């Protein structure tokens, strides 16, 4: 062949689309290859590190799956219930004639820009499933969802509607899940996955992540490690019930099914309507969890988090300081404390509303969003004005999806409440959930924000709380279609949040759910930040923040300094909160002068360094799960600024202290190491303080940043010379 012909054939391979039957989906480092087999079934033939030569795709073999080697299907991308597959399916449909299954065959696909869509069709029933893949190349994240549609006359029900099925082949598989409870969010638990199934799911509806968080990690070929090994990290973007199923089959293939939890949610899908599943996002890191976390954080900052590029406000909250016991005078005094502290915003929490049933505690008033006249006679406008006079912005707490039975709202609209018609009602925190499937209720929930904003256009921030799961699962609005409730509730919520965002694009909002009961990445398309936990004991927070940092950027993680664990100094408490989106929820009058001074200085330092604190380049250097210390590091993109956060939790007697090796620096550059945020009058005793090192030295030899004392913390600035 002439040189020219050779070159031509090379370009042909490179630029011509692959055959209609091979679909390649890739990011900078990961590749997913799908192929259509002789039975027109769509199968996964590769998922792993991106192949260098696209010509190699033709070498991929169609794996056999299922019960025997004669199985016709291969590793089917969207397997259905009730046909050949023995394992957990992604899709289940009940046709109008009662037939409980479908066979989905490839029809066509298209690839435009970073999006791929693949149409599958049942040849017997008018049912289409379109699979979507969106790649975020630079961040190495793949997004998957499906759209389901039918043209049948009569009632068609969806029994299952997962977003994704992925297959892996490795010698062994280790799952990390993030178990939770109130004040115990993101407890990382590991286990080996052997033959059979492990399900991680939620069925709490509104406060969906109370017991389990919608994230997982799987070590492929060994337990997950921070800097080595292949690891799959995934999350479902859905502010409601989710389900991840990990199943190791008879051929030792791991199947990972992710989607909305279909339990109690057999969905009536109307003819010609499109059912869009939730979004599943995953990354496949070849260099351990650290790299996967940096990818997720970068992706959140570039594509997902609401107002990700905008600043965030430090704040003083009154919840743990006053609880429900406040009045105008007390609040105005707190505004001046906020000013003295140097924060940007004062956040008024629960307890400002209700007249017939004033919100004196959590037994009454939810739903009646009018200011309590005898508590705050001059209303919210007066508070906004007074805050402004003190040089701070004003923010306010709402819980608009909920209602106390003791409220005017519940009396007026009993048909707006989710409750079983024929059974005793179970109350969680003395409250019930409004039926967001109902458009009238959606209007009402929107009006809670809208009325406040209309009256007080200068409100800058809302804390949107959600303290109850859906406990009495019956929607008066949906009547006989109760299976749609959990899904339509979330869709109703998104409709409201879409309206809020469209009308008030500058409003900052915290997603809160009795702590971290809501923490999904699609919720954060509407909220600028989320409340990680009511547990602000700094030791517990080291674990909770460590957990969330696997997926979430620091800018979105609200971290407040409170009275939890007074054994820890104010410095230790502030230094832990400094890692996230810093706030205070504490009575400042109770602090010593030195402690108050420390807080003021720390806020100034935080404001000076927040771009580094919020950088997605996170290096987790020493894990709190080892028990004694915790060290994490952030580096900005240009590698000229870095911050090291070091905490001694409970060092062992006689423990020999190791150097901590930094990461992510420029090896050839010189850096000055300086401890900042010192208590008034105190000097740093770190041996590395004020010294200059090469990046190479800091990363290979390291520095001592831990001690043998309980509850000691250091914030260390590492600046390029």
Residues that bind ligand DGJ (CB under 6 A): 319, 349-350, 397, 465, 467, 512, 514-515, 531, 534
Q: Which CB atom, from 201 or from 399, has the smaller least distance to ligand DGJ?
A: 399
Q: Which CB atom, from 283 or from 562, has the smaller least distance to ligand DGJ?
A: 562
Q: What is the rounded distance in angstroms from the CA atom of residue 76 to the CA atom of residue 93? A: 17
Minimum Å distance from CB 435 to ligand DGJ? 22
- DSSP 8-state code for residue 157: E
Minimum Å distance from CB 467 to ligand DGJ? 6
Minimum Å distance from CB 361 to ligand DGJ? 10
| Contact present, 205 and 240 (Cβ < 8 Å) | yes
Q: What is the rounded distance in angstroms from the CA atom of residue 321 to the CA atom of residue 323? A: 6
Minimum Å distance from CB 590 to ligand DGJ? 19
Q: What is the rounded distance in angstroms from the CA atom of residue 637 to the CA atom of residue 615? A: 7
Angle between helices 439-455 and 485-503 (to 10 degrees): 30
Q: Which of 273, 341, 296, 219 is nearest to 588 (CA)?
A: 341
Token digits for 103? Answer: 């066979």
Minimum Å distance from CB 201 to ligand DGJ? 23
Minimum Å distance from CB 305 to ligand DGJ? 20
Alpha-carbon torsion (341, 346, 349, 352), positive or negative: positive
Q: Which CB atom, from 350 or from 648, has the smaller least distance to ligand DGJ?
A: 350
Token digits for 139? Answer: 């961040």
Minimum Å distance from CB 402 to ligand DGJ? 10
Q: Which CB atom, from 80 or from 466, has the smaller least distance to ligand DGJ?
A: 466
50 forms bridges with which residues in the sheet? Answer: none
Q: Which CB atom, from 167 or from 531, has the smaller least distance to ligand DGJ?
A: 531
| Contact present, 149 and 127 (Cβ < 8 Å) | yes
Q: Which of 17, 23, 13, 20 is nearest to 46 (CA)?
A: 23
Q: Kindly report the CA angle at 399 between 393 and 404, in degrees rounded to 5?
A: 140
Q: What is the rounded distance in angstroms from the CA atom of residue 227 to the CA atom of residue 495? A: 41
First to last CA, the chain: 57
- DSSP 8-state code for residue 318: -
Q: What is the rounded distance in angstroms from the CA atom of residue 348 to the CA atom of residue 379? A: 13
Minimum Å distance from CB 535 to ligand DGJ? 10
Q: Which CB atom, from 515 or from 624, has the smaller least distance to ligand DGJ?
A: 515
Q: Which CB atom, from 177 or from 349, has the smaller least distance to ligand DGJ?
A: 349
Q: Which CB atom, from 73 or from 359, has the smaller least distance to ligand DGJ?
A: 359
Q: Which CB atom, from 281 or from 352, has the smaller least distance to ligand DGJ?
A: 352
Would you state the torsion angle of the CA atoms of residues 596, 598, 599, 601, taken in this order, to the nearest 10 degrees? Answer: 120
| Residue whose CB is nearest to ligand DGJ in the complex, by number | 350
Token pair 């990690």 is at which residue? 217
Q: Which CB atom, from 288 or from 523, has the smaller least distance to ligand DGJ?
A: 523
Token digits for 304? Answer: 């997902």
Token digits for 342? Answer: 């140097």
Q: Which CB atom, from 527 or from 598, has the smaller least distance to ligand DGJ?
A: 527
| Contact present, 666 and 694 (Cβ < 8 Å) | no
Minimum Å distance from CB 395 to ligand DGJ? 12
Ramachandran region, residue 578 (left: φ > 0; alpha: ψ -120 to 50; beta: rest): alpha
Minimum Å distance from CB 512 to ligand DGJ? 5
Minimum Å distance from CB 362 to ligand DGJ? 6
How, if at all, do strands 508-511 and 459-464 pair?
Answer: parallel
């Amino acid at each position: 062949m002439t040189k020219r012909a050779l070159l031509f054939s090379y370009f042909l391979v490179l630029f011509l689309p692959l055959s209609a039957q091979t679909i390649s989906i890739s990011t900078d480092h990961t590749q997913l290859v799908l192929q259509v087999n002789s039975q027109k079934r769509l199968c996964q033939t590769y998922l792993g590190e991106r192949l260098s030569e696209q010509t190699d795709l033709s070498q991929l073999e169609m794996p056999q799956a299922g019960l025997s080697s004669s199985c016709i299907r291969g590793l089917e991308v969207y397997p259905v219930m009730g046909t050949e597959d023995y394992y957990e399916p992604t899709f289940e449909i009940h046709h109008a004639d009662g037939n409980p299954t479908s066979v989905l065959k490839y029809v066509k696909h298209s690839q435009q820009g970073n999006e791929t869509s693949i149409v599958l069709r049942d040849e017997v029933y008018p049912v289409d499933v379109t699979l979507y893949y969106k790649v975020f190349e630079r961040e190495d994240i793949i997004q998957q969802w499906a759209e389901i549609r039918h043209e049948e006359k009569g009632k068609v029900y969806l029994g299952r509607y997962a977003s994704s099925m992925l297959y892996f082949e490795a010698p062994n598989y280790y799952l990390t899940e993030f178990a939770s409870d109130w004040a115990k969010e993101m407890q990382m638990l590991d286990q080996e996955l052997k033959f059979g199934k492990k399900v991680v799911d939620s069925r709490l509806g509104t406060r969906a992540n109370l017991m389990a968080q919608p994230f997982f990690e799987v070590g492929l070929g060994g337990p997950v490690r921070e800097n080595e090994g292949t690891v799959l990290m995934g999350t479902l973007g859905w502010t409601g019930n989710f389900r991840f199923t990990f199943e190791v089959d008879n051929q030792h293939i791991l199947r990972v099914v992710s989607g909305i939890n279909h339990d109690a949610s057999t969905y009536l899908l109307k003819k010609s309507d499109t059912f869009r599943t939730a979004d599943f996002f995953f990354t496949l890191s070849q260099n351990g969890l650290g790299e996967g976390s940096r990818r997720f954080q970068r992706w959140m900052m570039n594509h997902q988090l609401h107002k990700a590029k905008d600043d965030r406000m430090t704040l003083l909250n009154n919840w743990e300081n006053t609880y429900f016991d406040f009045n105008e005078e007390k609040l105005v005094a707190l505004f001046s404390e906020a000013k003295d502290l140097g924060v940007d915003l004062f956040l008024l929490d629960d307890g400002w509303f209700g007249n017939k049933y004033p919100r004196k505690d959590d037994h009454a008033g939810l739903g009646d969003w009018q200011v309590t006249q005898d508590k705050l006679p001059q209303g919210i406008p007066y508070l906004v004005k007074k805050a402004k006079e003190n040089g701070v912005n004003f923010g306010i707490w709402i819980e608009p999806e909920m209602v106390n039975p003791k409220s005017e709202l519940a009396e007026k609209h009993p048909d707006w409440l989710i409750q079983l018609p024929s059974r005793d009602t179970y109350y969680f925190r003395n409250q019930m959930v409004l039926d967001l499937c109902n458009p009238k209720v959606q209007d009402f929930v929107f009006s809670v924000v809208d009325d406040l904003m209309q009256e007080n256009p200068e409100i800058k921030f809302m804390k949107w709380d959600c303290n109850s799961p859906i406990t009495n699962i019956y929607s008066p609005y949906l009547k006989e279609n109760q299976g749609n409730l959990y899904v339509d509730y979330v869709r109703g919520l998104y409709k409201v949040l879409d309206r809020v965002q469209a009308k008030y694009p500058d409003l900052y909002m915290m997603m809160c759910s009795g702590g971290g009961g809501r923490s999904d990445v699609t919720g954060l398309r509407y909220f600028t930040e989320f409340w990680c936990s009511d547990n602000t004991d700094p030791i517990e927070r080291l674990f909770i923040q460590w957990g969330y940092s696997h997926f979430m950027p620091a800018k979105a993680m609200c971290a407040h300094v409170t009275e939890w664990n007074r054994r820890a100094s104010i410095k230790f408490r502030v230094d832990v909160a400094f890692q996230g989106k810093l706030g205070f929820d504490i009575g400042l009058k109770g602090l010593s002068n030195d402690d108050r001074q420390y807080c003021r200085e720390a806020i100034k330092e935080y404001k000076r360094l927040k771009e580094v604190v919020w950088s997605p380049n996170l290096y987790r250097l020493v894990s709190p799960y080892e028990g004694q210390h915790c060290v994490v590091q952030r580096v900005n993109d240009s590698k000229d600024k870095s911050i090291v956060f070091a905490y001694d939790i409970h060092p062992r007697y006689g423990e020999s202290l190791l150097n901590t090796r930094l990461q992510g620096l420029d090896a050839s550059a010189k850096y000055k190491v300086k401890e900042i945020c010192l208590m008034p009058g105190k000097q740093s005793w770190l041996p590395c303080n004020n010294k200059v090192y090469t990046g190479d030295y800091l990363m290979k030899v390291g520095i001592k940043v831990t001690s043998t004392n309980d509850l000691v913390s250091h914030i260390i600035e590492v600046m390029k010379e």
